[in-house]
Amino acid sequence: MKKKISSTLIPLVVILSLLFLLSANENEPNNSSQTANSININEVCTGALSVQGDVDWYTFSLNSAGKVSITFRMQMKGNNNNYYEIYVYPATNPDSPLLWQIVNGYATESIMPSLGLPAGRYYVRIQRSDTYPWTYSAADYSFIVNYAQDDNWEKEFNNSWPTSTEILLRQRYYGSLARSQDVDWYAFTLNNAGKVNITFWSDMMINNNNYYEIYVYHAANPDRQLFGQIVSGYTTEAGMPSLGLPAGKYYIRIQRSDTYPWTYSYADYSFIVQ
């Protein structure tokens, strides 16, 4: 009899502990990066902008590089009021956002653009919209920092050639332009002279908007492009002309189109150099 009770209780205790472990609540005051609440990746965290000027800071750590995307849930308002602004910062630079998204009342769940991040500590900041301060919700929100370890994602910030993400030939790499200003630099090395082919993929709407510009540079001269191509929304797979290149180090730069800056995509892109 005694044995039967304990065998029933053990799974229940395990389940209750797991539920407790997999969710957390904010702990005010958390109105600055210095007082940010520590949260775990892949766990639900619930909070609220309980007074109008409230700002909620959270911090999480990544032990290794990978892909991060935030799922944010709010109470449905059924309108286009902009209720929240969500930012992500590296802890080394809490003034320079990796991500800045406005969440409106059209949907209860929003998935933020993916971020490829190196190991390190990061901040999430949630506040009412500065742009639309008259629309604001005191109701509970919740969010999850979804993380998957992945060595084949870009490592932000890689917005200039000295901070390029190193890539290997013949492997597919992933990235996203998580902000309109985002620029992604990658570096690869050719041990021998040869032909280089770049193939680029992105799930874009089928239209002729120009979503990406892709450039190739020799590392000795990163101000002068060897090659440049605009990728439009007509295709999800774009091949580039073969480049005959001597051995050496090269950079790839991916950014929104300067010529058509109003058309750009937050979606994940990927490419392979071979």
Instruction: Look at residues 210, 213, 211 and name the one whose alpha carbon lies nearest to residue 198.
Output: 213
Structure tokens belonging to residue 24 = 């957390």
Q: Which residue has the tokens 């109470």?
A: 75
- Based on CB atoms, which residue is closest to Ca ion, 54 or 213? 54
Question: Can the peptide bond before residue 157 be classed as cis, meaning omega within 30 degrees of 0?
Answer: yes
One-letter amino acid of 63: N
| Single residue of 184, 200, 233, 271 touching Ca ion by CB under 5 A | 184
| Single residue of 24, 36, 45, 56 touching Ca ion by CB under 5 A | 56
CB of 176 to Ca ion, least distance (A): 5
Question: Can the peptide bond before residue 29 be classed as cis, meaning omega within 30 degrees of 0?
Answer: yes
- Based on CB atoms, which residue is closest to Ca ion, 140 or 245? 140
Cα angle 10, 12, 18 (rounded to 5 degrees) comes to: 105
Q: How many helices (H) and strands (E) does the chain have?
A: 1, 22
The yes or no reply on residue 199 touching Ca ion (CB under 5 A) is: no
CB of 159 to Ca ion, least distance (A): 4
| CA–CA gap between residue 167 and residue 188 (Å, rounded) | 5
| CA–CA gap between residue 69 and residue 119 (Å, rounded) | 15
Binding to Ca ion in span 230-249, by CB under 5 A: none
Please choose, out of 6-14, 67-75, 174-182, 224-232, the segment that lies near Ca ion by the rule CB under 5 A: 174-182
Name the helix (H) or strand (E) containing 107: none
Binding to Ca ion in span 84-143, by CB under 5 A: none
| CA–CA gap between residue 217 and residue 188 (Å, rounded) | 10
Q: Which residue has the tokens 């730069």?
A: 253
Strand pairing class (82-90; 165-166): unpaired
* Residues of the chain by 3-state class (helix, strand, coil), percent to 5: 10, 45, 45
The yes or no reply on residue 182 touching Ca ion (CB under 5 A) is: yes
CB of 157 to Ca ion, least distance (A): 6
CB of 211 to Ca ion, least distance (A): 13
The yes or no reply on residue 31 touching Ca ion (CB under 5 A) is: yes
Instruction: Look at residues 112, 83, 110 and name the one whose alpha carbon lies nearest to residue 97.
Output: 112
The yes or no reply on residue 268 touching Ca ion (CB under 5 A) is: no
Please choose, out of 56-64, 90-98, 124-132, 197-205, the segment that lies near Ca ion by the rule CB under 5 A: 56-64
Name the helix (H) or strand (E) containing 19: helix 2-21
| Single residue of 39, 54, 240, 268 touching Ca ion by CB under 5 A | 54
Please choose, out of 2-10, 60-68, 92-100, 176-184, the segment that lies near Ca ion by the rule CB under 5 A: 176-184
Please choose, out of 63-71, 128-136, 153-161, 234-242, the segment that lies near Ca ion by the rule CB under 5 A: 153-161
CB of 154 to Ca ion, least distance (A): 5
| Single residue of 81, 159, 209, 225 touching Ca ion by CB under 5 A | 159
Please choose, out of 55-63, 161-169, 198-206, 218-226, the segment that lies near Ca ion by the rule CB under 5 A: 55-63
The yes or no reply on residue 158 touching Ca ion (CB under 5 A) is: yes
Binding site for Ca ion (CB under 5 A): 30-31, 54, 56, 156, 158-159, 175, 182, 184
